[in-house]
Amino acid sequence: MSEESREPIIQLIDVCKSFGDQSVLENVNLDIFEGTTTVIIGPSGTGKSVILKQMMGLLKPTSGRVLVFGQDLSRISKRELQAIRMNFGVLFQNVALFDSMNVFDNVALPLRERTKASEKEIRQNVEEKLALMDLDGVNEKYPAQLSGGMLKRVGLARALVLNPKVIFFDEPTTGLDINKSNEIYRVFYRSQLRFKYTSVIVSHDVPRIFKLTDYVALLADRTIVNSISPEDFQLSKHPAIKSFVETTMGPIYISEEEEADYYEKI
Ligand SMILES: Nc1ncnc2c1ncn2[C@@H]1O[C@H](COP(=O)(O)OP(=O)(O)O)[C@@H](O)[C@H]1O
Ligand SMILES: [Mg+2]
């Protein structure tokens, strides 16, 4: 689909957000397009999670508008907001699985709480998602028995189980080494190819596997500088982007060979 024919599924329009007299975001404009992946990057403590929470309707902008599926989140009822949220999946840094529940029950929970699916449908759905995450055979395990990377994959399986239109990831690879991070991004990518959801990822780094993201949006000096392709991002002459690339990203392009190897595994 060409970009021009795409409607933004989420739009931040001149969003400002303050807490007391602390101004965190100023005139943030950002469009999220259906079926794409956008990575929002920036130093820690600068407002990335605040942006995500506003997209989810968990925080209201001090001024400006947040539109989701064309609806202004500040102008709709609680009920309408809840209906919109049914289309969202989330995966936060700490994953937040229930320690007392095994993997199967953790992933099945949203289905049991929010739908009338039969146990047979639940089993089918949960096992499909776990298989896609390379998690066959761990149904009966408890979170404490899993590695960090596996926990994140269980979290993603749970985020996928209601077939959301949008998934929000807040620092999904925090705490993982570079290989594990790439592995997680690879699994995200594969699940997105399969389910075609829209992905908004907040991260302090950019996935080294470049093709996994369509847009990179830098949050600097309280605003989103630009939302552009990773290739354009790396070549950008914009001072804030240039400085971010130079100081924190290093050589983010990996060799074609190395990259080809990743795609083979997807
Ligand atoms: N609910 C809140 N109340 C007051 N201040 C907040 C709240 N949420 C975030 N902040 C402040 O907003 C700033 C940005 O926070 P955050 O979005 O969590 O940063 P990031 O995700 O980029 O690390 C921080 O200074 C934080 O203390
Ligand atoms: Mg954060």
How many other C-beta atoms are found inside a 10 Å radius of the C-beta of residue 257?
7
Atom 25 in ligand 1: residue holding the nearest Cα: 45
In short, whether 56's Cβ falls inside 6 Å of ligand 1 is no
In short, whether 44's Cβ falls inside 6 Å of ligand 1 is yes
Mutation probe of ligand 1 site: the residue of 15, 16, 19 with most atoms within 8 A of C-beta: 19
Is residue 3 over pLDDT 70?
A: no
Task: Identify the pLDDT of residue 177.
Answer: 82
Q: pTM for the complete prediction? A: 0.89
Tens-digit pLDDT profile for residues 125-140: 999 999 988 898 999 9
Half-sphere exposure of 123 (CA within 13 A, CB side): 4
Between 252 and 53, the more confident residue is: 53
**Whole-number mean pLDDT of the chain?**
88
In short, whether 203's Cβ falls inside 6 Å of ligand 1 is no
DSSP secondary-structure letter at 75? G
8 A C-beta contact, residue 32 and residue 38:
yes
> Which CATH homologous superfamily contains domain 3-87+164-265?
P-loop containing nucleotide triphosphate hydrolases (3.40.50.300)
Beta strands in the chain (DSSP E): 8-19, 22-33, 37-41, 63-68, 71-72, 88-91, 166-170, 198-203, 215-220, 223-228
Task: Identify the pLDDT of residue 92.
Answer: 84
The residue extents of the domains of the chain are 3-87+164-265
Tens-digit pLDDT profile for residues 152-179: 899 999 999 999 999 999 988 887 887 8
How many other C-beta atoms are found inside a 10 Å radius of the C-beta of residue 55?
24
Atom 27 in ligand 1: residue holding the nearest Cα: 45
Beta-carbon contacts of residue 180 (< 8 Å; ≥ 6 apart): 148, 149, 173
Is residue 211 over pLDDT 70?
A: no
In short, whether 207's Cβ falls inside 6 Å of ligand 1 is no
DSSP-derived 3-state class of residue 79: helix
